Amino acid sequence: MAAVTVAKWKAIALIGLAGAEAFVVVSSSPRERSVGTQLASEYGASARTRTQDDYIDINRESGGPIARYDGPTIRPLSNVRAPSLDEIWESTMPVIVQGGSLRTWSFANPQVDAVQVLFKSEGRPIDADIDLWNGPDNTPHKMRVYVEDGARRTFSAIIGTPRGPNSIAVRNIGQLEFPLDAVVRPDMQDGLAASIASVVSKSEVIQGGSVRTWSFNPFVQSVAVIIKTDGRPLNSRIELLMGPNNSKQVVEIYTEDGVDRPFFAIVETPEAVGSVIRIKNTAPLEFPVYASVAPYTLGDSYNFNEWPML
């Protein structure tokens, strides 16, 4: 689609195409804005016009991740259409990991560069360890996961598995009365990792020992998180907070190489009063990390004119 020159006004028509690409139409006159309506009519989608000084994030009509506008042209947004978390749970038979037990998944295919790991429960707490095994006595990636309510806030993350074969070990360190449902499956090129990367644009440096927080309004239903380094080890703690020091979800991460195995995750925030993501770099000062945090999905009743994104 050809680019359209933008004048000084920033009127944006966003069109969501179910199961296809989403288009951003930027215009300055009623005639140019009508392009969005024509496209909507042609593709059977709805057009909405918003005004924003810098950029706009919006939920796709297809239920996928939000699309971010950052430029002054008509252009297709990322055509990544990863399955939603609900679709993954509905299409995959989870494995029940009882409290105190260990389950492993092996991936011998060298083409599997990343693996999706998802946890949920019947409303009980989740307390688990996740290890990536790459050869005898070699654990290049470790995670400790705590979720207060595994039904309200499921856990979903991407673990890089380059240079296979690799194995994923999940140990439920909770009590016997607290089993969890686990899904571990390959993440292909059109999977969650590409979908998460499509909605984050900039990263912020977090020096060793320092803390960074991001606040989100109540209409943000989930948040995309990416943490990486320049090749040094990655040691971080991610918390989802509701009120002062009230942690609803905690993930402690260790990765021996933050370039080969960066951390990708979707943190669900189904709260009525907003949420805060807090990331602490638990490594020494010489080991900074680069964190990218952005809204992933929005509620159906989100109003751009009433609420800011952050």
Share of the chain above pLDDT 90, in %: 47
Domain hosting 169: range is 85-298
Nearest partner of 105 among 161, 146, 153, 144, judged by Cα: 161
Task: For residues 65 and 129, state if they share a domain.
Answer: no
The neighbouring-strand residues paired with 186 are 115
Overall average pLDDT of the 180-195 stretch: 87
Nearest partner of 193 among 235, 162, 165, judged by Cα: 162
pLDDT greater than 60 at residue 57: no
Give the total number of structural domains in the chain: 2
- pLDDT, averaged across the chain: 76
Higher pLDDT, 119 or 91: 119
Can you give the pTM of this predicted structure?
Answer: 0.72
* Residue 163 lies inside a defined structural domain of this protein: yes
Task: For residues 30 and 109, state if they share a domain.
Answer: no
Identify the domain boundary among 47, 76, 105: 76
pLDDT value of position 7: 32
pLDDT value of position 300: 67
Element containing residue 166 per DSSP (H, E)? strand 166-172
pLDDT tens for each residue of 225-239:
999 999 999 999 999
CA 75, chain centre distance (Å):
23
**Across 16-20, 37-41, 152-156, 201-205, least confident range:** 16-20
Task: For residues 54 and 93, state if they share a domain.
Answer: no
Task: For residues 32 and 139, state if they share a domain.
Answer: no
Task: For residues 37 and 147, state if they share a domain.
Answer: no
Higher pLDDT, 260 or 53: 260
Scanning 189-233, the segments in alpha helix (DSSP H) are 192-197
Q: State the CATH number of the domain containing residue 236.
A: 2.60.120.680
For the chain, the maximum distance between any two Cα atoms, rounded to a whole number of angstroms, is 66
